[in-house]
Amino acid sequence: MLRIGIDVGGTFTDFLVQEGDGSSIFKVLSTPGDPSIGLINGLEEIAKTRGMSLEAFVPTIDIIVHGTTVTTNAVLTGNGARTGLITTEGVRDALEMRRGIREEQYNNRYTNVPPLVPRRRRLPVKGRIGPRGEVLEDLDRQAITAAVRRLKDDGVEALAICLMNAFANPSHEQAAAEIAAEEHPEAYLSVSTKVLPAVRFYDRVSTTALNAYAGPILRRYIEALLKRLGAQGFAGVLLIMQSNGGVTTPVAARDLAAMTLLSGPAAGPGAGAGHVAVHGLRDSITVDMGGTSFDTAMVLDGKPITVTDGEIDRRRLALPMLGIVTIGAGGGSVGWLDEGGLLRVGPQSAGADPGPACYGRGGDRPTCTDADLLLGYLDPAFFAGGKLPLNIKAAQGAMASLAGPLGITAEEAAAGVYRVINNNMASGVREVTVKRGHDPRDFPVVVAGGAGPLHACMICRELEIPFFLVPRESSIFCAAGMLATDLKHDYVRSLICRWDQLDPEHLCATVDEMVTEGRSVLEGEGIPVDRVRLEPALDLRYVKQYHEVTLPATLDEVTGPPRLKAIASRFHAEHDRLYGYSLEKEGTPLELINVRLSAVGITDKPTSAAGERAGADPSASLKGRRRAYVPETGLFADVPVYDGHTLEPGNRISGPALVEQVNTTLFISGDFDAVVDLHGAFVTYLRDRIDALPETVRTLLE
């Protein structure tokens, strides 16, 4: 079976081709104007390596799993669909007022992000549902009709419908949706009770508006992609990566476009979980440094952390999504001097076009890649396997724009860029660990991205993390993760009541409703019953608290009859872990807010057999030596350079050293050593912290 994972990034589009027990890696430059062009270009390159035409190769593909940045870019660049919003009279401005809380409390100059739907296209209508689902005022159907016609005349191509308390009674929204579909059938329709039937009006209206804003863009992209693939004879299965770490069909993705807003990086944490699992580990941190951004996430007990209070471009996205923190720190991140003359790096990026100065494509700003080249970490003749030679003089000229004002050499400026971006990325890791109550020193790091392995030693040194792993396919980490991803659909129902007053039968009925829906959807996608996994969770809090804790549960705990005391006990313990206190002894009652369910369809996964252990001596893979910067000493030194493709399990390398592969390079700094594990990953560790390594790695060092 031929499977291809495809991850469209800001600079490169990555491909992992899996056939039987073998796999191969490909990277092509992304085409931001139309990402599907870069995707087809990559397939054509894969076909050439097999001596086939594109038309002959594409029909042989059985499965394509695709992560797309189309919706992300639409929101970040403000190039989404022209959207209208129909909402309840009196709350027309909720999308702009948000929660009424200033994001930066003491910054008087900090302004709200502009709403995706301007006020003139946010139309209020009469009709009101109460918080318990009671009809307080009948829906004004004529007002709905007039609003839809007005928005249609205004050229709106997406309609968002979000009425007050619709989560408790969707009848008004359903009626409004029927009118909208009749009056403006061409419009992309986004209805809050279909997108997010949960309490909290701002979360619901923001998520519904995001779904509408991105929907037509994703719909056009999917239709164009299917047309392009169909023209080449593709008859296999196309799956789209979702923000929740699962995949879905193109039809489901099109209808719930907001679930793809973090489609690209969402496969990474799952891939990281697999790489540490072979060493008997269940917890890890994943980091992925590409050309434009740096993504980091956590895996606990074998599962990536999921959140329901995320944001994209400062706009609330309350759908379940992996707890990924993304910052502007990639190979293309630009170095600059602020008003005080201090060196900064990012979030601006040179992107794929024109790219870093050393690409020789017209870029003239100093970037992280230019710094890595000047520091000796990159071979100018071997970048991308020699397909993209790097221009050292162009990098030096760009770096001089920083060096001159600072009164230092270009190499010293490059070292400064290296240090700053490493600190930026270490801060990103703290966001997903320390701020969530975890000590990063307790977790191994799985390092990915074309640029990640060059910076991993310094990130881990800053965070006092004793070791990290660099998988062989680290440069296309997310594309690889996509092939190991299950189908996944998330459901939520608001069920607001005190825990000690909860009707167990009501809870069971709510869970059963979601279970039935989840099973039905997965059955329609061809998943057999024995490959369905159901994962409930409850949003709980202490009475009078504002924020709740999402507590995973088992199906047995929430059905026939629910184990309410056991769940409450686990909530107290989790609250104590997260916030440092529990109110169990005080007898403070709990409150249930939402009931959640993830319906997972388990798919076949690629397998990777362990290799045979070779000796410790890596000299057979030595390519030569190169002058490179050693951060521990602040000096340049001649360091050995190894061919990462020929290193074998058990081979050990002492830092400082470089391990080159076609699509990435690992820099092992002065205080670190590395060993190749039985699955081909480079386990890199602080020389004086062998005790922190798992037993599977320590045995390779004996």
Per-residue model confidence as pLDDT tens digits over 348-393: 888 767 889 999 888 899 999 999 999 999 999 988 777 789 999 9
Classify residue 207: in a domain, yes or no. Answer: no
Q: Which residue has the higher pLDDT, 630 or 100?
A: 630
Where does the pLDDT of residue 16 fall: very low under 50, low under 70, confident under 90, or very high at 90 and above? confident
pLDDT above 90 for 689: yes
Within a domain: residue 192?
A: yes
Residues 292 and 428 in one domain: yes
**How far apart are the C-alpha atoms of 307 and 305, rounded to whole Å?**
7
Q: Is residue 694 part of a domain?
A: yes
Residue 34 pLDDT > 90, yes or no?
no
For residue 609, tell me if it sits in a domain: no
> So what's the pLDDT on residue 441?
94
Q: 365 in a domain, yes or no?
A: no
The tens digit of pLDDT for each residue in 55-98 reads 999 999 988 999 887 888 788 778 899 999 999 999 999 998 88
Report the SS3 class of residue 184.
Answer: coil
pLDDT at 562: 78
Q: Rounded to whole angstroms, how far apart are CA atoms 203 and 116?
A: 14
> What token pair was written down for 452?
């990640």
For residue 466, the one-letter residue type is: P
Number of domains in the chain: 5
Same domain as 29, residue 138: no
Please indicate, yes or no, whether residues 71 and 89 belong to a single structural domain of this protein.
Answer: no
The reply to whether 250 falls in a domain is yes
Any domain includes 686: yes
* Whether the predicted pLDDT of 199 surpasses 70: yes
What pLDDT does residue 607 have? 67
Q: What is the extent of the structural domain holding 665?
A: 619-701
Same-domain status, 191 and 108: yes
88, 134, 136, 604, 627 from 130: Cα distances, Å = 12, 5, 6, 46, 71
Alpha-carbon distance 308 to 423, whole Å? 28
Give the highest mean pLDDT range of 472-476, 481-485, 630-634.
630-634
Say whether both 134 and 193 belong to one domain: yes
If asked whether residues 114 and 194 sit together in one domain, one would say yes
Average pLDDT, the chain: 90
pLDDT of residue 219: 92
Q: Is the domain of 36 the same as that of 96?
A: no
Domain boundary among 438, 459, 478: 478
Tell me how far CA of residue 616 lies from CA of 239, 622, 647, 675, 676, in angstroms: 42, 13, 10, 8, 9
Q: What is each CA distance from 220 to 160, 279, 691, in whole angstroms? A: 18, 43, 53
Taking CA 19 as the corner, what is the angle to CA 14 and CA 22, rounded to the nearest 5 degrees?
A: 85
- Is there a single domain that holds both residue 69 and residue 103? no
CATH code for position 228: 3.30.420.40
3-state secondary structure labels for all residues of 17-72: EEECCEEEEEEEECCCCCHHHHHHHHHHHHHHHCCCCHHHHHHHCCEEEEECCHHH
491 Cβ partners below 8 Å, 6+ apart? 514, 517, 518, 596, 597, 598, 599
Q: How open is the CA angle 286-292-293, to the nearest 5 degrees?
A: 30
Q: Read off the tokens for 396.
A: 């030096």
Please state which of the ranges 298-307, 437-446, 642-651 shows the lowest mean pLDDT.
298-307
Q: Measuring CA to CA, which residue among 537, 540, 486 is closest to residue 514?
A: 537
- How much is the pLDDT for 73? 77
pLDDT at position 669 over 70:
yes
Main-chain dihedrals φ then ψ at residue 586, nearest 5 degrees = -75, -10
What pTM does this model have? Answer: 0.82
User: What does the pLDDT read at residue 10?
Assistant: 64
User: How far are the Cα atoms of 254, 300, 380, 425, 619 from residue 572, in angstroms, in the given order?
Assistant: 40, 19, 56, 33, 55
DSSP string, 641-656: EEETTT--TT-EEESS
Last residue of a domain, one of 550, 567, 601: 601
- Average pLDDT on 25-51 reads 86
Quickly state the pLDDT bin for 501 (edges 50, 70, 90).
Answer: very high
Radius of gyration of the chain (CA): 26
The residue ranking higher by pLDDT, 316 or 477, is 316
Residues 43 and 141 in one domain: no
Residue in the block written with tokens 């100093």: 366
Indicate whether 470 and 493 sit together in one domain. Answer: no
557: exposed, middle or buried (Cβ count in 10 Å: 0-12, 13-18, 19+): middle
In a domain, 354, yes or no: no
| Cα distance between residue 367 and residue 43, in whole Å | 29
State the amino acid at position 662 in one-letter form. Answer: V
What pLDDT is attached to residue 224? 87
609 has pLDDT over 80: no
Mean pLDDT of the 535-559 span: 91
Q: What is the CATH number of the domain that holds 506?
A: 3.30.1490
**Any bridge partners for residue 8, and if so which?**
13
Looking at residue 352, its pLDDT comes to 67
Q: What is the pLDDT of residue 105?
A: 79
Q: Three-state DSSP class for 458?
A: helix
Same domain, 575 and 448: no
Nearest-5° Cα angle at 679, 677 to 680: 70
- 539 and 683: one domain? no
Residues of the chain with pLDDT > 70, as a percent, come to 99
